[in-house]
Amino acid sequence: MSEQTIKTCLHNVNTRIIDAAQRFGRDPQQIQLVAVSKTKPVSAIIEAYEAGQMRFGENYVQEAIDKIQVLADKAIEWHFIGNIQSNKADLIAKHFQWVHTVDNVRHAKLLNQYRAGLPPLQVCIQVNISNEPSKGGALAHEVMDLAHQIQRLPNLKLRGLMAIPKPSDYFEEQANAAKALHILKELLNRRGFELDTLSIGMSHDLEAAISEGATMVRVGTDIFGKRA
């Protein structure tokens, strides 16, 4: 994609976010866009960055580290949104500002261990909100205990919940998944947590996610085009 194309696509996605926020009585400033740049070249990230995008999401650790090192002079906030592997936990902990995909205490403890000496790592618990056997994420009934255990880890800051719902073409089904995640977040907050982040919503369902409280949407295809 050309710079103008990425710039235009980014503008279009931001317009969708603003329009959805206004439609559903939300403050657009409370909804952050994470541009999902996995498999995309550094040049595409630079084009989006120069168009004003500051937050980028990556799924694959080594690919991400290569990009982070090349772009070290840019004021980019890096979000890890892929599956955590124990043998990559040190790289994730040391190179990212956010991790969206913590779904067990073992990985949380590894991230905490390797984050020592750095500012707290901002983390979300990934929830398998659609109860899909093929997907990662803690089940809803496991989230409370996991949240308590993460809260005890000094190098992690629990910010909220993340989910990748079962794909649907129907707005109501998309919104129901986001609503279930929002309800779970509010339940945690009633138990004394101070969660402010709902990471849910992608290219095809960001409007529905925003309608039910999403504060971060993760968009790749509608910014950078389809992956090869």
How many residues does this entry show for the chain? 228
H/E stretch holding 126: strand 121-126
Tally DSSP H helices, then E strands, for the chain.
9, 8
Strands 121-126 vs 98-102: parallel, antiparallel or unpaired: parallel
CA distance 164 to 195: 18
Please enumerate in sequence order all residues whose Cβ is within 8 A of that of 92, keeping only pairs 6 or more positions apart, or say none.
Answer: 61, 80, 84, 99, 111, 114
Q: Quickly list DSSP for 150-213.
A: HHT-TTEEEEEEE--PPP-S-HHHHHHHHHHHHHHHHHHHHTT----EEE---TTTHHHHHHTT
pLDDT of residue 4: 58
For residue 121, list its beta bridge partners.
156
d(CA 164, CA 145): 21
Show the domain range for 15.
3-224
| Of the candidates 51, 49, 42, 43, the residue with the CA atom closest to the CA atom of residue 11 | 51
The pLDDT, as a whole number, for residue 228 is 65
User: How distant is the alpha carbon of residue 125 from its chain centre?
Assistant: 10
Identify the CATH number of the domain in which residue 160 sits.
3.20.20.10
CA distance 109 to 146: 11
User: Given this model, what pLDDT does residue 64 score?
Assistant: 98
What is the predicted pLDDT for the residue at 3?
A: 45
Count: domains in the chain: 1
Nearest one of 131, 134, 130, 109 to 121, comparing CA atoms: 109
Tokens of 140: 């809803």
pLDDT tens for the chain, 228 residues long, are: 444 599 999 999 999 999 999 999 999 999 999 999 999 999 999 999 999 999 999 999 999 999 999 999 999 999 999 999 999 999 999 999 999 999 999 999 999 999 999 999 999 999 999 988 888 899 999 999 999 999 999 999 999 999 999 999 999 999 999 999 999 999 999 999 999 999 999 999 999 999 999 999 999 999 999 876
